[in-house]
């Protein structure tokens, strides 16, 4: 389970790295276009194409070395900042950990540094290859590179569709040793496939964007929409980088939101007891610390008590994998609460496990991880001998990702000869007395038995706190991806303005105002944000489905009901637009300050 948790964090970090690769690709491409005349002169003077190719790869290598060194330093700082959050998550879900400081593993540092450098060089390969193939004469033509890029659109679309189909195929494959390797491959194919659709999207939407922008913003809007398609190589890369960040934001938001709503529904349906009691030493899920028997006797005799459910749990190993054998009182469960079964009639299933000592229940997580279904036979070794049990039903549970086998408590005590208690649920005649009873129980056993007592409301809050803490680290990774994508927008617009200096000078010379030049740049940034949002939201939904139905299901065994967090999606769209416009402000200021005479003196 810990390895799956670590792998999920690594996968999210990889998506951030993917966004950074788009930025490096864009940077190298921008440099190639800015220096095309210089390259042409050097080629004309005898510099070989292979030497130019190596020149750009070396530049990417230097960027990778500097960026990776800075990334390692920032990573250590970020690890220090998030240490308590991640440690709390592991303690809440897996095993108690107490960490005071970051332990730097130099093997991980070297590996991370190497991955950053390799990613940087790999990102520069295609721009460098394009420079290698270009004829010296073409370097003096502004649109030569863009024309080559446009001619490759069909090939790019074909690669995109192939990646999407490959992603669908990967999503159908099972896990490898409990790890969703093909699920991650499916997610990567989906992200790359949608990213490569951005040039085609910009081209197809050109007419609509020009008419819409002209209607809303006048001639500045029409020029901005036209410029978006004219500089396709750079704008498409920036849109792709921003799209990946949006897809990551939407995908994780939908997955986390759906998971949270599923957990809330599960809590509402199953946690019906008014007071919950657990041992104070219970640092982690699945611990086997017992509660003193006197606690059960005390709460059972309270006049406010309607019913009591004594719960036992014992970690066991089945087929070489860890799981938990638990023993609730199913008569109390039937009378006072509700289990959410995958199939079958609730009452019939509970009657079977109550009346038949050879029947039991398992959770959905257990069924998925061990490959059992309703009606299958399960063999367990108890202190009194080996017995075969019939699985009467499979129910949904989100308390443990190791899976639970649930046996009626009287049969558990008989065959396992174990009457230790791990949790107690108390049902009251008057639910409004829950907080008072909690305080009474705490006061009664403050000096005699170390226990934790929660009201129903308190436990629900605790469950959601643990849930939110678990996914807190993902928001940091989303923020990093958005910052990197914003840098991509700035880089693209700066390159576009640098290339259009003469054009901007001519516009100023024939009467365009400084404000119009600024607005044109900001509108172009806004249009990039709109396209990135449209493509990113679509990709984000696909990514969410992969996360929910492939990666999470194979990693943890939970089925999550899809829920669309409209507020989060709307917020993501607004955030992308704000990011694009803020990113466009710096290039817009640069465009405003261009001197007319200097830009048009060639004319």
pLDDT in tens, 545-579: 998 899 888 877 888 888 887 877 787 778 778 87
**Could you give the CA distance from residue 129 to residue 57 in angstroms, rounded to a whole number?**
10
**Pair (30, 109) in one structural domain:** yes
**Could you give the CA distance from residue 107 to residue 361 in angstroms, rounded to a whole number?**
45
Q: Which helix (H) or strand (E) holds 313?
A: strand 305-318
Last residue of a domain, one of 385, 418, 449: 449
Q: Is residue 456 part of a domain?
A: no
For residue 477, what pLDDT is reported? 66
Task: Assess contact for 247 and 543: CB atoms under 8 A.
Answer: yes
Q: At what angle do helices 106-133 and 2-34 cross, to 10 degrees?
A: 30
Q: Quickly state the pLDDT bin for 326 (edges 50, 70, 90).
A: very high
Backbone phi, psi, residue 405, to 5°? -110, 120
Q: Is residue 274 part of a domain?
A: no
Give the pTM.
0.76
Contacts of 437 (CB under 8 A, 6+ apart): 274, 275, 302, 304, 426, 428, 455
**pLDDT at 106 > cutoff 70:** yes
Q: How do residues 287-312 score in pLDDT, each as one tens digit?
A: 556 888 889 899 999 999 998 988 88
For residue 392, what pLDDT is reported? 95
Mean residue pLDDT across the chain: 81
Bridge pairing between strands 423-428 and 305-318: antiparallel
Total Cβ atoms within 10 A of residue 41: 14
CA-angle at 531, arms to 251 and 189, nearest 5°: 45
**Pair (441, 510) in one structural domain:** no
Q: How do residues 464-519 score in pLDDT, each as one tens digit?
A: 877 777 677 667 666 766 676 677 667 766 766 766 677 777 777 777 788 888 88
**Pair (390, 485) in one structural domain:** no
Last residue of a domain, one of 419, 449, 479: 449
For residue 410, what pLDDT is reported? 93
Q: Quickly state the pLDDT bin for 285 (edges 50, 70, 90).
A: very low
Most confident among 7-21, 250-264, 345-359 (mean pLDDT): 345-359
**Pair (369, 516) in one structural domain:** no
**Pair (125, 44) in one structural domain:** yes
Q: How do residues 139-160 score in pLDDT, each as one tens digit?
A: 655 554 545 555 578 888 999 9
**Pair (154, 62) in one structural domain:** yes
**Pair (434, 392) in one structural domain:** yes
For residue 393, what pLDDT is reported? 94
**Pair (61, 89) in one structural domain:** yes
**Pair (235, 292) in one structural domain:** no
Q: Is residue 437 part of a domain?
A: yes
Q: Is residue 337 part of a domain?
A: yes
More confident residue, 44 or 333: 333
Q: Is residue 461 part of a domain?
A: no
Contacts of 330 (CB under 8 A, 6+ apart): 350, 353, 354, 406, 408, 409
Domain count, the chain: 2
CA distances from 458 to 90, 307, 387, 407 (A): 21, 20, 39, 27
Q: How do residues 429-471 score in pLDDT, each as one tens digit?
A: 998 899 999 999 999 888 877 888 889 888 888 778 777 776 7
Average pLDDT over residues 6-34: 67
What secondary structure letter does DSSP report for 533?
H
**Pair (20, 69) in one structural domain:** yes
**Pair (35, 98) in one structural domain:** yes
Average pLDDT over residues 315-320: 88
Q: Is residue 445 part of a domain?
A: yes
**Pair (320, 435) in one structural domain:** yes
**pLDDT at 258 > cutoff 50:** yes
Q: Quickly state the pLDDT bin for 101 (edges 50, 70, 90).
A: low
3-state secondary structure 46-96: CCCHHHHHHHHHHHHHHHHHHHHHHHHHHHHHHHHHHHHHHHHHHHHHCCC
Task: Assess contact for 524 and 222: CB atoms under 8 A.
Answer: no
**pLDDT at 167 > cutoff 90:** yes
Range of the domain at 70: 2-266+467-600
């Amino acid at each position: 389970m810990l390895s799956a948790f670590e792998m999920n964090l690594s996968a999210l970090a990889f998506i951030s790295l993917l966004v950074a690769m788009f930025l490096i690709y864009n940077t190298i491409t921008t440099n190639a276009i800015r220096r095309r005349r210089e390259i042409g002169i050097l080629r004309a003077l005898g510099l070989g194409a292979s030497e130019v190719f190596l020149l750009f790869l070396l530049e990417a290598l230097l960027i990778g070395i500097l960026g990776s060194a800075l990334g390692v330093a920032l990573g250590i700082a970020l690890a220090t900042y998030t240490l308590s959050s991640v440690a709390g998550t592991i303690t809440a879900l897996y095993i108690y950990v107490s960490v005071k400081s970051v332990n730097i593993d130099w093997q991980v540092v070297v590996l991370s540094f190497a991955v950053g450098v390799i990613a940087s060089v790999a990102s520069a390969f295609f721009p460098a290859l394009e420079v290698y193939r270009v004829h010296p004469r073409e370097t003096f033509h502004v649109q030569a590179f863009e024309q080559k890029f446009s001619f490759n659109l069909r090939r790019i679309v074909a690669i995109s569709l192939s990646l999407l189909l490959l992603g669908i195929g990967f999503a159908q494959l099972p896990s490898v040793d409990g790890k969703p390797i093909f699920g991650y491959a499916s997610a990567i194919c989906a992200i790359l496939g949608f990213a490569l659709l951005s040039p085609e999207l910009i081209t197809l939407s050109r007419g609509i964007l020009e008419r819409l922008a002209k209607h809303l913003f006048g001639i500045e809007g029409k020029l901005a929409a036209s410029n978006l398609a004219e500089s396709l190589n750079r704008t498409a890369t920036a849109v792709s980088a921003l799209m990946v960040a949006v897809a990551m934001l939407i995908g994780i938001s939908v997955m986390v939101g759906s998971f949270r709503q599923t957990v809330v529904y599960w809590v509402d349906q199953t946690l019906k007891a008014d007071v919950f009691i657990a041992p104070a030493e219970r640092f982690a899920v699945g611990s086997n610390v017992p509660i003193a028997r006197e606690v059960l006797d005390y709460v059972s005799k309270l006049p406010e008590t309607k019913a009591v459910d004594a719960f036992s749990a014992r970690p066991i190993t089945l087929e070489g994998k860890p799981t938990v054998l638990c023993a609730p009182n199913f008569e109390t469960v039937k009378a006072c609460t509700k289990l959410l079964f995958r199939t079958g009639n609730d009452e019939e299933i509970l009657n079977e496990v109550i009346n038949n000592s050879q029947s039991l229940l398992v959770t959905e997580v257990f069924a998925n991880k061990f490959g059992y279904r309703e009606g299958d036979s399960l063999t367990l070794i108890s202190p009194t001998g080996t017995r075969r049990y019939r699985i009467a039903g499979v129910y949904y549970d989100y308390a443990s990702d190791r899976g639970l086998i649930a046996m009626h408590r009287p049969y558990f005590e008989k065959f396992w000869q174990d009457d230790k208690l791990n949790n107690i649920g108390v049902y009251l005649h008057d639910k409004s007395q829950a907080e008072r009873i909690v305080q009474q129980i705490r006061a009664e056993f403050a000096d005699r038995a170390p226990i934790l007592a929660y009201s129903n409301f308190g436990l629900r809050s605790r469950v959601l706190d643990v849930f939110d803490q678990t996914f807190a680290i993902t928001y940091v990774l989303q923020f990093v991806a958005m910052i990197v994508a914003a840098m991509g927008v700035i880089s693209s617009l700066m390159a576009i303005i640098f290339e259009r200096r003469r054009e901007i000078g001519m516009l100023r010379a024939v009467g365009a105002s400084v404000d119009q030049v600024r607005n044109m740049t900001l509108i172009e940034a806004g249009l990039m944000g709109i396209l990135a949002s449209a493509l990113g939201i679509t990709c984000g939904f696909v990514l969410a489905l992969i996360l929910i139905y492939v990666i999470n299901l194979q990693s943890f065994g939970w089925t999550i009901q899809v829920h669309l967090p409209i507020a989060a999606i709307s917020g993501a769209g607004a955030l992308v637009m704000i990011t694009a416009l803020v990113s466009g402000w710096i290039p817009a200021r640069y465009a405003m300050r261009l001197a007319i005479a200097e830009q048009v003196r060639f004319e």
